[in-house]
């Protein structure tokens, strides 16, 4: 017999949520085969079976919260799914008394209940809410009743009585507005919690500037085909330019690459840049390591690999830990300007936005239409003074507007 336990996830994570059972009671499972997917605060983790056999018991349902180390399933080596014990035939002559009939009805109800296959959480919810499991319809092809099946049954309207009261008629004449209530995913709950913590625990301000993207766009246009050819298909995007500009600005203004720990200020001597990636389940921030030591192609390649892993739900916890600064690009969704929220314990975050062609004064005599981008730096005023924040953003602006200078900074 093998017990499937919730594995150690990370130092700061003590529990997870059952996201998807890949196997059900009675299913065969191979050694090393995925049996369940757990959703944690940061990533999804697939748990394998250490033994080949048959799943004989699931101790938690999808949506249940389980602690690290707890047993969530049982796999029997070469076992078989538990079968319902056939009812024994009663050969005794029936006793025609009311007491005997009542006993028979009770026994029939108990046998019927025993034949119902339901998860522990579904049985608990049904018991607490007085719901008969025999009247609950399961959407599972094997007939397994889950907690959401019981909740759906509870939410179904009861049959209308033959004679409606005046109060009932009034309720039907003024129905409530339609709504859909659904539980937030663990990821969304964590995002909400962390963003609120940052908002409550930092003195966050945002400063803005604008960047003329003309030169970097022309450079990219001239070099992108050769770049892609020389670097095995890696495309030259704008993120590598901004990442390099950020690293140069962090070296010039080290307080922007810091964080507070109690009464201490930690000035980081490394440049691990988080890049915000949007997924179906919310925003995640994988980290590109040692950006000061990577060239443009290595940065672009790392960003692409991490984005693919994020969208395929393959990010590991290590991919998202320990960033020193974050870049987020709302421009890909059409955002013209925003005030991004600082990521975790970091001191600041850079927000990129849409590139929009608009008239710009070149000098006192000339106006030209230029591709312009607003950039924003949200920063923790406890660590960074306004002068440093403005200087940091101005450095990023100057380097993007003179992209050749980034080669000297690299």
Would you name the residues annotated as active-site residues? 381, 385
- 260: which 2 tokens? 């507070």
Measured distance CA(400)–CA(213) in Å, rounded: 7
What is the CA angle 180-184-185, rounded to 5?
135
Measured distance CA(147)–CA(128) in Å, rounded: 12
Measured distance CA(55)–CA(189) in Å, rounded: 31
The order of strands in the sheet holding 65-67 is 44-48, 34-39, 15-21, 65-67
Contacts of 302 (CB under 8 A, 6+ apart): 288, 289, 294
Measured distance CA(234)–CA(314) in Å, rounded: 21
Spatial CA neighbour of 325 closest among 235, 405, 245, 386:
245
* Residue listed under structure tokens 């319809």: 137
Q: Under a CB-based contact definition with an 8 Å cutoff, are residues 42 and 320 in contact?
A: yes
């Amino acid at each position: 017999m093998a017990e499937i336990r919730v594995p150690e996830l990370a130092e700061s994570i003590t529990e997870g949520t059952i996201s998807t059972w890949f196997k059900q009671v009675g299913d065969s499972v191979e050694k090393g085969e995925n049996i369940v997917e757990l959703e944690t605060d940061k990533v999804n983790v697939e748990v394998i079976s250490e033994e080949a056999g048959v799943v004989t018991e699931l101790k938690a349902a999808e949506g249940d919260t389980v602690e690290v180390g707890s047993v969530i399933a049982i796999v029997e080596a070469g076992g078989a799914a538990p079968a319902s014990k056939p009812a024994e035939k009663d050969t005794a002559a029936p006793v025609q008394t009311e007491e005997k009939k009542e006993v028979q009805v009770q026994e029939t109800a108990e046998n019927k209940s025993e034949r119902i296959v339901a998860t522990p959480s579904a049985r608990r919810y049904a018991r607490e809410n007085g719901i008969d499991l025999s009247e609950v319809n399961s959407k599972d092809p094997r007939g397994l009743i889950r907690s959401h099946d019981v909740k759906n049954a509870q939410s179904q309207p009861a049959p209308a009585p033959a004679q409606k009261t005046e109060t009932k008629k009034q309720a039907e004449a003024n129905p409530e507005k339609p709504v859909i209530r659904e539980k937030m995913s663990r990821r969304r709950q964590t995002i909400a919690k962390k963003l609120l913590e940052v908002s409550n625990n930092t003195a966050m301000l945002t400063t803005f500037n604008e960047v003329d993207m003309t030169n970097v766009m022309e450079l990219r246009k001239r070099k992108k085909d050769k770049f892609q050819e020389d670097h095995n298909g890696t495309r030259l995007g704008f993120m590598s330019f901004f990442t390099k500009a950020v690293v140069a600005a962090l070296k010039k203004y080290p307080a922007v690459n810091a964080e507070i720990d109690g009464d201490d200020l930690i000035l980081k001597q490394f440049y691990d840049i988080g890049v915000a990636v949007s997924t179906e389940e919310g925003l995640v921030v994988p980290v590109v390591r040692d950006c000061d030591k990577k060239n443009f192609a290595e940065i672009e390649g790392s960003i692409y690999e991490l984005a693919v892993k994020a969208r395929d739900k393959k990010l590991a916890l290590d991919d998202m830990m320990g960033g020193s600064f974050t870049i987020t690009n709302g421009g890909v969704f059409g955002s013209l300007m925003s005030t991004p929220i600082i990521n975790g314990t970091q001191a600041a975050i850079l927000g990129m936005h849409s590139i929009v062609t608009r008239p710009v004064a070149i000098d006192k005599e000339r106006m030209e239409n230029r591709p312009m981008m607003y950039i924003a730096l949200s920063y923790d005023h406890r660590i960074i003074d306004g002068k440093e924040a403005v200087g940091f953003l101005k450095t990023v602006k100057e380097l993007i507007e003179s992209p050749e200078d980034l080669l000297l900074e690299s």
